Every structure is written in C-alpha cells, then in structure tokens.
C-alpha cells in the first residue's frame, strides 16, 4: 500500500511532463500558424492590389474575420489553460500530510490534470475545426485555396 504512493507520484509527474511537452508543442504550432497567417495576409494584400478586387474583397474579409475570431477565442482559451498549468505547478501537499492526506492530494491532483488536459484538447480541437471550416468555405466560395 505504501509503495503505490511513489508510483502514483511518478505517474503524475510523468503525466505533467507529457502535458508540458504537449503545451510547448502547441505553442510551437501556434507560432507557426501565426507566421503562416502573416504570410497569407501578405499574399492576400498582393492579390487584392493586382487581381479582381471586387470579387476578392467580397469573399476574403469574411474569411479573415472568421479566422481572426477563431484565433482570438483560441488565445482566450490558452490563457485559461496557462492559468490551470500554473495552478498545477503551485499545487503541493501540506507539510504535515500523512498517507491518507497524500492519497487525497494525488486524487485531487489527478483530477486537476484531467481537467487541464481536457481543456487543452478542447481548445486545440476547436481551433482545428474552425480553421477547417473556414478553409472549406473559402474553397467553396472562391476556389482559390487548393
């Protein structure tokens, strides 16, 4: 029974490290998306200046606005996820904790990790779905993104 606590702590630490790696990966992906967004906006400006501006302006701003709203929501969600991660980092058992107290701490910490993981997955999934829907609409409307 006493041997399960270190295993639980190791598993919890492993889960936390995995979540931190996932968060870093999501930050990297987010940075890449922001760079790609800037590149696409630059291309969009060149296209609007030289192309059929009436058609381009009627389609692109709404897709850009949808994309901006999706990114804004994603950043908002990531702020919440970041706060949860910071809370998890500060969450410690009390100094006078006995075996039962440690079990309660591990259970509570596991729940917090689960909530953190679910919110992170939900945020990334929502962004992926929003971007996929925007790209699909963009292709349907203009046929320019293939």
Query: Taking residues 18-41, what's their average pLDDT?
Result: 85
For the stretch 70-125, pLDDT in tens is 999 999 999 989 998 898 888 888 887 788 888 888 898 899 899 999 999 999 99
Write down the domain spans for the chain: 17-142
For the stretch 50-83, pLDDT in tens is 555 444 444 444 788 888 889 999 999 999 899 9
> How confident is the prediction for the chain on average, in pLDDT?
80
pLDDT of res. 137? 84
Q: Apex CA 81: angle with CA 77 and CA 86, to 5°?
A: 150
What lies within 8 Å, CB to CB, of 112 at 6+ separation is: 84, 87, 88, 91
Asked which of 8-12, 52-56, 63-67, 130-134 is least confident by mean pLDDT, the reply is: 52-56
């Amino acid at each position: 029974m006493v041997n399960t606590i270190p295993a639980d702590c190791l598993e919890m630490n492993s889960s936390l490290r995995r979540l931190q790696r996932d968060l870093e990966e999501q930050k990297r992906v987010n940075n890449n998306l922001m760079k790609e967004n800037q590149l696409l906006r630059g291309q969009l400006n060149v296209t609007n200046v030289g192309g059929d501006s009436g058609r381009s302006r009627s389609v692109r701003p709404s897709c850009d606005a949808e994309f901006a709203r999706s990114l804004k929501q994603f950043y908002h969600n990531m702020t919440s996820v970041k706060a949860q991660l910071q809370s998890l980092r500060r969450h410690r058992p009390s100094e006078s904790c006995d075996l039962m107290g440690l079990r309660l701490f591990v259970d509570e910490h596991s729940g917090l990790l689960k909530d953190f993981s679910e919110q992170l997955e939900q945020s990334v999934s929502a962004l992926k779905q929003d971007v996929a829907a925007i790209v699909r609409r963009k292709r349907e409307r203009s046929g320019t993104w293939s």
